[in-house]
Structure 1
Amino acid sequence: MDAGPPPSTTTHPLSPATVLAVLTGGFVGTGLRLGVDFAIAHEPQQLALSTLAVNVVGSFLLGILVAALWRRLPTWGRAGLGAGLLGSFTTFSALTDSLWFLILSGAVVEAILSVVLSVALGLGAAVAGITMGRRLCPDGSTPLTDGSDE
C-alpha cells in the first residue's frame, strides 16, 4: 500500500501565522510611514522628500533582509517583514500621486527629478543593502549567492 507523499515541511503561504505577520508588519510599517510624513512635511506642489526617504530606506532594508536573512526566516517571517513591514513603509502609490500633483502644478522639473532620484537612489540603496547583507551573513550562503530562493 502506497503511503503517499511525505507531509509538507513548509507552511502554507496563507497560514494564519503568515496573515497575522503581514497584518502586524503592515500596522507597524504604516505607523512608521505616517511618522516620516509628519516629520518631513511638504505641500502637494513640492518634491515629496518623505516619500523619497521611505522608499530609499525601505530599499536598503529589503536588500539587507533578502541577502542576510531570507533563507533563515520562516515563510511567515519573510511575509511579515517583506510585504507587511517594508511593503507598507515604502510606497509606489504615494510617489505616483506626488508626481501627478507636481505635473498639475506645473513643476515638471521637480517631477522628473523625483523619478530620477527615486529610481537611482532606490536602486543604489538596494545594492548597498544587499552588499551589507552579504557581509552580515556569517557562512557566506545567501539566496543571492547559492541560486536558491527558499
Structure 2
Amino acid sequence: MDMLIVGAGGIVGALARYGLSLVFNPADPAAFPWGTLACNLAGSFALGSLASAAEGRLPDWLKLGLSTGVIGSFTTFSTLSVELLHLLQHGRLAAALGYGLASAAGGLLSVRAGMALTERRRYFAVKGGRP
C-alpha cells in the first residue's frame, strides 16, 4: 500500500515540476535554470513545513505520500547536478557558483522558514490569537 501512496504522490509532484520547468527553464543548457531552483527551494520549504506540522498530527501514510511522493518527485538533486555541470561546461563559472550556493544555502533556509512558519502558526492556534 505504501508504494501506491508514494507512486500517486510522485505523479502529482513530477507533473508539477515538469510544468514549472516548461514555464521557467530555458531550452539553452547554458542558461540559468530558474525553474529547477524554484522547485527545489519551494520543495524544501514545503518539506520543512510538513516536517514541523506532521509531528504527531498526520497519519504515517499521508506523511509518506506527501514527503516522499509529492515533494520527493517535485524536487530534484539529479537535475540540479546536470544543470550545474552544463553551466560549468559552457564556461559560466559565476552562474554555476551562484546556482550551487543558492541551491544549497537557499534549500537550508527554505526548510527552516517552512518549519518556523508552521511552528508560529501552531503557537498562535494554541494561544487562540492570529499569527
TM-score calculated relative to the size of structure 1: 0.78
The reply on whether 1:32 has 2:16 as its aligned counterpart is yes
Percent identity among equivalent residues? 37
* Equivalent position amino acid for 1:113 in 2: G
Q: Judge which range, 92-101 or 73-82, deviates more.
A: 73-82
Instruction: Quote the offset at 1:71 in angstroms.
Output: 2.1
In the other structure, the counterpart of 1:19 is 3
Structure with greater helix share of residues: 2
- In the TM superposition, 1:1-150 aligns within 5 A as 16=1, 18-42=2-26, 43-137=28-122, 138-139=125-126
Q: Where do 4+ consecutive residues of structure 1 move more than 3 Å?
A: none
Aligned counterparts of 2:77 and 2:19: Cα–Cα separation in 1 = 17
Cα RMSD for the two superposed structures: 1.4
Instruction: Quote the offset at 1:136 in angstroms.
Output: 2.7
Q: Judge which range, 119-128 or 91-100, deviates more.
A: 119-128
Structure 1 gap segments, 5+ residues each? 1-15, 141-150
Report the secondary structure of 2:42's partner residue. Answer: helix
* Equivalent position amino acid for 1:38 in 2: L
TM-score calculated relative to the size of structure 2: 0.89
Q: Which is greater in Rg? A: 1
Structure 2 gap segments, 5+ residues each? none
CA contact (8 A) 2:8 2:69 kept: yes
CA contact (8 A) 1:19 1:76 kept: no
* Equivalent position amino acid for 2:14 in 1: T
CA contact (8 A) 1:22 1:85 kept: yes
Provide Cα deviations, 1:46-66, integer angstroms capped at 9, x if missing partner.
111111100110011111101
Aligned counterparts of 1:75 and 1:126: Cα–Cα separation in 2 = 20
Aligned residues: 124
Aligned counterparts of 1:82 and 1:70: Cα–Cα separation in 2 = 13
Aligned counterparts of 1:39 and 1:109: Cα–Cα separation in 2 = 24
Aligned counterparts of 1:104 and 1:74: Cα–Cα separation in 2 = 45
* Equivalent position amino acid for 1:100 in 2: L
Instruction: Quote the offset at 1:69 in angstroms.
Output: 2.0
In the other structure, the counterpart of 1:145 is none
